[in-house]
Structure formats: C-alpha cells, structure tokens
Amino acid sequence: MQISNVEDTIFPSNKSIVAGDKFIDLSTPIVMGIVNVTPDSFYRGSRATSINIILERVKNMLMEGATILDIGGYSSRPGATDISIQEETDRVEPVIRAIIREFPDATVSIDTFRSHVAKVAIENGATIINDISGFSIDSQICDVAAHYKTPYILMHMIGTPQNMQKNVQYKNLYMDMCKYFSKKINILESKGIHDIIIDPGFGFSKTIDQNYELLDFLDRFHFLDRPILAGLSRKSMIYKKLGILPEQALEGTIEVNKVALKKGAQILRVHDVKEAVELI
C-alpha cells in the first residue's frame, strides 16, 4: 500500500484553510478587516495613505479580533479610476512590509486582481490572495497562487470595476453563478490550488435587488464545499436602500451580516471589526 506524505495529501474542506504557516479554523466564523490603502474608496472612514495611521488601524483591528487583514491599493467601487500596476504596487508594498514588521503574527490578504501586485505582496509577507475578478482580468494570478501555495478567494464579477454595473443581465442569477464558480474551481484545482474561498461578490455586477436575492440563496452555495466569504460592509445595497450615507450604514451592515451568518457564511469582510466579532 502506498502512503502519501501529509504535504501531498489533499483534504478538501470548508472548515479550514492554511495560510503560510497558519492553520485557520473556520468551524466558527471569522472576521477579515478591510484596510484600504487608497484615497478614493467609497467609504471615507476606510481611506488611509499614511503608514502610521494604517498601523494604528491594524493594531485596533487585531485587538478587536480580526483574524485576517485584507490590504487593498485599488479602489473597486463602481466607476472607480483605473490606476497603473506600479501605482498599486507602490501603495501596498510598504504597508504590508510595515504590518508584518510590527505585527509578525498577523495574517495578511492582498486584495488585487493583478499577478504582479500579488507576487510582490506575498514576497513581503501576505499569505492569501483576494481576487475580485476571478482571474478574468489577469489569469497569471492563478500561477502566483499555485507557486506560493496561497489560499485564493474567488469572487464573482463580470467585467471590470469600471463597467461591471453594466453587466447585470442573467438568465438565472443563481444558476449562472453556480456555473461560474464550478468552472473556475475546476481550473484552480487543475493548477494545484485547493484552498479556495467563495465570495459571491455583493455589489459587483448586480443590482440592489439582485444583491438581496443573492443574500437569500447564499446558503445554496454550500454544495461547492468551500468556505463562503460575505463582503457586505456598508455597501450601496444597504445605504441606498435606506437613503443614507455609507458612514451611517453600520446598523444596516450588522443586520445583513446577521443574515449571512445564518446562511452559513464563514468569513465576514468588514470595516468595523469589533461589531462583527460581537455579532458572531
């Protein structure tokens, strides 16, 4: 009988992931704190460009119970300005380096759809790739994830941040998303990537009503046997529905996150870590 080394054995599961040298247990939901290194994110409270301010924010998030820090240097709000690969790299590289220096035990995710940015981030200490494009914009990001053996967050979006809200026509939203995820999971697995997290992409290529339809059937994605990430924090489906600003959408965020947890979401991606941890 042939016995494989444990390193070569694959245990597909939606209960855990391995990021770098850390085993992350998902049997109880966890919180991913959003750290935007951008001047133009939709929520003003999350914008930061000073490393000292970012480190203070990170310190608070870790103290409040964030398991993962998601660092992003490219604003993906609808209609956001496109920036160069170099500018995005210049935004995130020193920040990730500073976070790892100050908080060496922190688990850092890089929020990018560009393979170069992902590679630089990982070489500076990031251990998870969070790709809003599902490798549709830069397919080489899969090769980066495979080479460095990082978990990969696979989000549903059609098009780019600049035109995604023009791509909201579906024959059947749930079935179309199932086909999208199934096809892309097969591609990722063929490249040796097995720690795959599903992000249905609230606010991306979806109308407000479609976002609530998606929230209603979120639990039906468990057939994929992958952890589900819910990124609902202060989004337009909340504040536009209530006729308020993103800065006023904390209570609404808590309510939709409550539904997401009841539907089985295992990672909440949020601006407000303390409230999400208390909710869990």
Active site residues: 235, 269
Backbone angles phi, psi at 70, to 5 degrees: -105, 110
Whose tokens are 């090769």? That residue is: 143
Q: Which two tokens stand for residue 246?
A: 């993103």
The burial of 268, by beta-carbon neighbours within 10 Å (0-12 exposed, 13-18 middle, 19 or more buried), is given as buried
Beta bridge partners of 93: none
In the 3-class helix/strand/coil scheme, how is 158-191 assigned residue by residue? CCCCCCHHHCCCCCCHHHHHHHHHHHHHHHHHHC
What is the rounded CA–CA span in Å between residue 250 and residue 84? 32
Antiparallel, parallel or unpaired: β 128-131 and 107-111: parallel
What is the rounded CA–CA span in Å between residue 108 and residue 66? 11
Whose tokens are 């890089």? That residue is: 110
Q: Using alpha carbons, list the distances in angstroms from residue 228 to 2, 29, 166.
A: 34, 10, 25
What is the rounded CA–CA span in Å between residue 102 and residue 211? 38
- 146: helix, coil or strand? helix
- 33: helix, coil or strand? strand
What is the rounded CA–CA span in Å between residue 25 and residue 266? 10
- 70: helix, coil or strand? strand
